[in-house]
A = this chain, B = another copy of it.
Amino acid sequence: MGIALGELARRLGGVLHGDPDCMVTSVATLQNAGHGAITFLANGRYRKYLPATQASAVILGADDEEASPTATITVSNPYAAYAQAATILCPLPFPEPGVHPGVVIGDACNIDETACIGPNCIIESGVTISAGVSLGGGCFIGRDSFIGAGSRLHAGVVICHGARIGARVLVHPGAVIGSDGFGLAEDGGKWLKVPQLGGVCIGDDVEIGAGTTIDRGTLEDTVIENGVKLDNQIQVAHNVHIGAHTAIAGCVGISGSVRIGEHCRIGGGAGIVGHLQITDNVTITGMTLVTTSITVPGVYSSGIAAQENASWNRNCVRLRQLDTLARRVQVLEQKLAGKG
């Protein structure tokens, strides 16, 4: 168990300064790493811990090489290299293939023999479970769904009927994929339900956080493209389309029919109004409300930083009268101009 630094440096595409035969067996933080551990420096905030680290080796960028008291693997992207090193040193324990006794399986399912189906799972009819899939305890897979090769659903995930999940998708506990969208037609003061007849299509290499909900489409599919990463407690409404490699932090709400481009980053607690389009490479900061389409890549915000309460309240009172204040300034300008 463990890997020699020479071999690790080779796999990370980095340059080793130190003994290539030195074995590392674990990963740890700069502060807490001990003998046999490899650590990393990717955020300047932690640079102060480098000189005293007890690690056997550090993954870092060229600028930090000299300050290291121990072996280094120098790379251009220390955080990505660390992620690879941690994946090599601490691989996820993969459950044994097989179907736990007592699992409920419907008719006409196609369950690969290399899949692992945990206790108390419910698999409805017509489901395909591909090679190397792992379902944690108590998952529910609705009829006619498809789970692609190597995907891993943790305990208590609900996949509704007809959902298509790609390969190597990771879904955390309590996530719900394919629930009905919020489709309502007003009819004389009451609400008629609009049947939600579309599906959900999740690409490859997608990660879906705990408690995140992704609704099925109304007539066509809700689509999450390859490589999208969704944190916990995100709400994705019906007919949303999220482009490849976009990452979205926790507690974001995305309204119906929103189309988000590729390589976007959306901060925690942001909200996006329905039917908008957001182009590629857009960053939206935390708790921002997006009310119009964004056609130019860049960073967008409307979150307000906290302030001591008494000051904030005074400012808020003025904010509620801001239009009037602006008009008063205009009057002053006119008066002064008149006098000029």
Contacts and interface: CB of A to CB of B under 8 A. Distances in A.
A156 to B, nearest CB: 5
B253 A187 contact: no
Count of this chain's copies in the oligomeric assembly:
3
A27 interface: yes
A164 interface: no
Contacts of A29: 219-220
Interface residues of A, number: 128
Contact of A229 (B191, B298, B316, B323): B191
Interface string A316-335: 11111111011011001101
A122 B138 contact: yes
A290 interface: yes
A98 interface: no
Contact of A27 (B90, B142, B197): B197
Interface in A139-157: 140, 142, 154-156
Interface in A216-264: 219-220, 227, 229, 231-233, 235, 237, 245, 247, 249-251, 253, 255, 263
Interface of A: 27-29, 32, 42, 45, 77, 79-80, 82-84, 86-87, 90, 92, 100, 102, 104, 118-120, 122, 124, 136-138, 140, 142, 154-156, 158, 160, 170, 172-174, 176, 179-180, 182-187, 189-195, 197, 207, 209-211, 213, 215, 219-220, 227, 229, 231-233, 235, 237, 245, 247, 249-251, 253, 255, 263, 268-269, 271, 273, 275, 283-292, 294, 298-323, 325-326, 328-329, 332-333, 335-336
